[in-house]
């Protein structure tokens, strides 16, 4: 019988096997990714990838719950983690608990993710103490793009101390794993060796305990821009555009629908 992975199972992979994470936002995509993945992340990247928003700042609780429910319906093995959207947790632990509990209750997901290190440690501890497993997210935290001054690599040179402190703080607070986004590979390797919870890298080199990519990026479906850390494992966007062009041409030439796609008054002999 299939049992869904839990945060404790992900934590137990530390030092044993790499943690495989992909984002998912819809039921059909969750269905195809679930068998191969340990974690399906309903990232707030959904705002940019599926809704055409210019950043993740406009993503709402309702969007995260709607997509979270869709991913739960399409999966039965992977742990589903849902991003807390911008503005839903930063005021303090009580606000964070109220919204995290709503996300968990209305979606059935097994954990939430939120952005921030040292300054979010108190909130992470508050949630974990009250039954909400938390995946942390440090380094480049896209919800802070305006204060960070762009989507830059974080933790280069002397700034590495800040990342080390963030990693230690979220570990101490009880996070079961931590995303390291756009961090030098050497620093990500050091942090992974230093802390007791799995690091999940995105643009953070091969020495992290696991890796995550945005599924539409790695399938070649989202092509507005391509960060250096994205490897395209398929070109589904190009394949789809070619299929649409072929359909349009066949409609215009009346090649589609051929008789095999049509119904007739008399059943053919």
The residues of the shown chain that bind ligand KIV, judged by CB under 6 A, are: 23, 41, 43-45, 83, 137, 179, 202, 212, 214
Classify strands 111-115 and 177-181 as parallel, antiparallel or unpaired.
Answer: unpaired
Q: For residue 172, count CB atoms less than 10 angstroms from its CB and return exposed for 0-12, middle for 13-18, buried for 19 or more.
A: middle
Q: Which helix (H) or strand (E) holds 23?
A: strand 19-23
Q: How far is the CB of 202 from ligand KIV (least distance, A)?
A: 5
Q: Binding site membership for 3-methyl-2-oxobutanoate: which residues?
A: 44-45, 83, 113
Phi and psi at 215, nearest 5°, equal: -60, -35
Look at residue 202 and give the partner it binds from Na ion, ligand KIV, none, a contact being a CB closer than 5 to 8 Å depending on partner kind.
Answer: ligand KIV
Residue 48: contacted member of ligand KIV, Na ion, none (CB under 5 to 8 Å, by partner type): none
Which one of Na ion, ligand KIV, none is in contact with 179 (Cβ closer than 5 to 8 A by kind)? ligand KIV
Contact flag: residue 44 with Na ion (CB under 5 A):
yes
Q: How far is the CB of 45 from ligand KIV (least distance, A)?
A: 3
Pick 41 or 72: Cβ nearer ligand KIV? 41
111 binds, among Na ion, ligand KIV, none (CB under 5 to 8 A by kind): none
Task: Count CB-CB contacts under 10 A for residue 19.
Answer: 25
Strand, helix or coil at 134? strand
Q: Would residue 181 show up in a list of annotated catalytic residues for this protein?
A: yes
Q: Is residue 203 near Na ion by the rule CB under 5 A?
A: no
Residue whose C-beta lies closest to ligand KIV: 43
What are the start-end ranges of the H helices in 90-137?
Answer: 93-107, 121-129
Beta bridge mates, 116: 137
DSSP 198-221: -EEEESS-TTSSEEEE-HHHHTT-
Query: Which residues inside 80-139 make contact with Na ion, applying CB under 5 A?
Result: 83
Which residue carries 């994470």 as its tokens?
21
| Catalytically active residues, by annotation | 181
Residues that bind Na ion (CB under 5 A): 43-44, 83
């Amino acid at each position: 019988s299939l049992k869904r992975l839990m945060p404790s199972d992900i934590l137990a992979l530390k030092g044993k096997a790499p943690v495989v994470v992909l984002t998912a936002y819809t039921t059909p995509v969750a269905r195809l990714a679930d068998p191969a993945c340990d974690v399906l992340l309903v990232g707030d990247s959904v705002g940019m990838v599926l809704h055409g928003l210019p950043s993740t700042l406009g993503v709402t609780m309702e969007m995260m719950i709607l997509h979270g429910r869709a991913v739960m319906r399409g999966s039965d093995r992977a742990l589903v983690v849902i991003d807390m959207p911008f503005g839903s947790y930063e005021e303090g632990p009580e606000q964070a608990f109220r919204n995290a509990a709503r996300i968990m209750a209305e979606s059935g997901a097994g954990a939430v993710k939120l952005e921030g290190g040292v300054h979010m440690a108190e909130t992470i501890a508050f949630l974990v103490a009250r039954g909400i497993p938390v995946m942390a997210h440090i380094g480049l935290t896209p919800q802070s793009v305006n204060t960070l001054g762009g989507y830059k690599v974080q933790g280069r040179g002397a700034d590495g101390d800040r990342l080390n402190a963030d990693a230690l703080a979220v570990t101490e607070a009880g996070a079961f794993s931590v995303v390291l986004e756009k961090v030098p590979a050497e620093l990500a390797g050091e942090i992974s060796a230093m802390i007791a919870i799995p690091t999940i890298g995105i643009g953070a080199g091969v020495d992290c305990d696991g890796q995550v990519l945005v599924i539409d990026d790695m399938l070649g479906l989202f092509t507005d821009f391509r960060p250096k850390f994205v490897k395209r494992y398929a070109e589904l966007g190009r394949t789809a555009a070619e299929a649409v062009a072929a359909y349009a041409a066949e409609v215009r030439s009346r090649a589609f629908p051929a008789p095999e796609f049509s119904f007739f008054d008399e059943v053919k002999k």
